[in-house]
């Protein structure tokens, strides 16, 4: 089983969201959210009118995410009384032993909630979980080359471009877009040169953007997750008084510094 308990993330422009694992009972909200994304995501792979899963298939899919030890589906909910679903992240590690040490995720945030730190907070929750997982060493993603907002966000969080699948997406007659694959490591001592290990240790004495000190090529073990971004936004923190965008609360299963924790929350 893989799941994380509910954690609270304060947002950049005020307000907060709760982040927790998806449950089968979320299926209706997730389907509505998917419909919203279909109309509000120029970088989605599925296009309007293309085949869609049934509600039962979606429920079974969520159940599988809960059941598989190397899979995690996270949801973000507004912390106001409406409790609306505003973010979804799905991560899947390989099922074969030779592939179980890495996995890839996709992320979507409701159009009205973008640019406030929801995406960053969800990625931090994923990385904290992955760092505590007994097998996962590396977290990857694929992003449209043209999705500059998302690529900048991933770079700020420590992801580094690893490879490209050329002309992976065909977006019209004779029009192609590369798929850029990016990666970050979550266990000390395994990142190759040029890559970073989460939690990223912030470089001292350098302010502003780009002040994230990478743990390139090796361990960042013991580095504080808090302040993982250059401005301390959306850091995972188990303690009170978080900076804007920090994830906090009763995060029993999202430890602030995870690499020493041998098994993921919920057991794997």
Shortest Å, Cβ 221 to ligand COA: 25
d(CA 125, CA 118): 11
Q: Which stretch binds ligand COA (CB under 6 A): 24-32, 57-65, 113-121, 236-244?
A: 113-121
d(CA 191, CA 220): 10
d(CA 157, CA 186): 12
Q: How far does Cα 66 stand from its chain's mean position?
A: 16
- Closest to ligand COA by CB, 19 or 69: 19
Q: List the interface residues with ligand COA, window 220-259 (CB under 6 A).
A: 234
Query: How many amino acids of this chain bind ligand COA (CB under 6 A)?
Result: 21
Instruction: Tell which one of 8, 36, 114, 134 touches ligand COA (CB under 6 A).
Output: 114
Contacts of 96-103 spanning 24+ positions with Cβ under 8 A: 100/70, 100/135, 100/136, 101/135, 101/136, 101/137, 101/138, 102/136, 102/137, 102/138, 102/139, 102/140, 102/183, 103/70, 103/71, 103/130, 103/136, 103/138, 103/139, 103/140
Give yes or no for residue 19 binding ligand COA (CB under 6 A). Answer: no
Give yes or no for residue 108 binding ligand COA (CB under 6 A). Answer: yes
d(CA 186, CA 135): 10
Instruction: Tell which one of 17, 85, 143, 200 touches ligand COA (CB under 6 A).
Output: 143
- Closest to ligand COA by CB, 85 or 150: 150
Give yes or no for residue 16 binding ligand COA (CB under 6 A). Answer: no
User: For ligand COA, which residue has the nearest CB?
Assistant: 119
Give yes or no for residue 109 binding ligand COA (CB under 6 A). Answer: yes
Instruction: Tell which one of 3, 59, 102, 116 touches ligand COA (CB under 6 A).
Output: 116
Q: What are phi and psi of 4, to 5 degrees?
A: -120, 150
Q: What are phi and psi of 24, to 5 degrees?
A: -55, -30
Give yes or no for residue 119 binding ligand COA (CB under 6 A). Answer: yes
- Closest to ligand COA by CB, 34 or 58: 34
Give yes or no for residue 149 binding ligand COA (CB under 6 A). Answer: yes
- CA-nearest of 152, 75, 64, 82 to 107 is 75
Q: Which stretch binds ligand COA (CB under 6 A): 149-157, 166-174, 186-194, 217-225?
A: 149-157
- CA-nearest of 139, 84, 90, 80 to 111 is 84
Instruction: Tell which one of 147, 181, 244, 261 touches ligand COA (CB under 6 A).
Output: 147
Instruction: Tell which one of 69, 70, 103, 117 touches ligand COA (CB under 6 A).
Output: 117
Q: Are 179 and 144 in contact (CB under 8 A)?
A: yes
Q: Are 117 and 9 in contact (CB under 8 A)?
A: yes
Shortest Å, Cβ 243 to ligand COA: 13
Residue ranges that bind ligand COA, judged by CB under 6 A: 41, 43, 107-109, 114-120, 141, 143, 147, 149-150, 152-153, 156, 234
């Amino acid at each position: 089983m893989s799941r994380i308990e509910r954690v609270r993330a304060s947002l950049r422009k005020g307000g907060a969201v709760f982040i927790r694992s998806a449950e089968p009972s979320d299926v209706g909200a997730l389907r509505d959210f998917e419909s919203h994304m279909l109309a509000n995501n120029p970088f989605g792979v599925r296009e309007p009118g293309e085949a869609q899963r049934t509600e039962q298939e979606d429920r079974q899919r969520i159940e599988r995410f809960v059941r598989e030890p190397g899979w995690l589906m996270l949801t973000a909910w507004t912390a106001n009384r409406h409790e609306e679903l505003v973010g979804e992240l799905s991560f899947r590690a390989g099922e074969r032993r030779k592939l179980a040490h890495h996995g890839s995720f996709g992320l979507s945030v409701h159009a009205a909630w973008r640019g406030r730190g929801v995406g960053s907070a969800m990625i931090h929750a994923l990385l904290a979980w992955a760092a505590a997982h007994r097998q996962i060493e590396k977290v990857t993603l694929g992003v449209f080359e043209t999705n500059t907002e998302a690529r900048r966000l991933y770079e700020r969080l420590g992801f580094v471009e690893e490879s490209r699948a050329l002309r992976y997406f065909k977006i019209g007659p004779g029009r192609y877009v590369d798929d850029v694959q990016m990666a970050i490591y979550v266990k000390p001592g395994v990142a190759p040169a040029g890559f970073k290990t989460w939690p990223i240790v912030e470089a001292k004495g350098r302010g502003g953007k780009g002040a994230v000190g990478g743990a390139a090529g090796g361990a960042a073990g013991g580095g504080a997750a808090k302040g993982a971004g250059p401005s301390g936004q959306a850091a995972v923190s188990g303690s009170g008084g978080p900076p804007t965008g920090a994830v906090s609360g009763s995060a029993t299963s999202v430890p602030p510094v995870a690499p020493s924790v041998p098994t993921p929350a919920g057991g794997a």
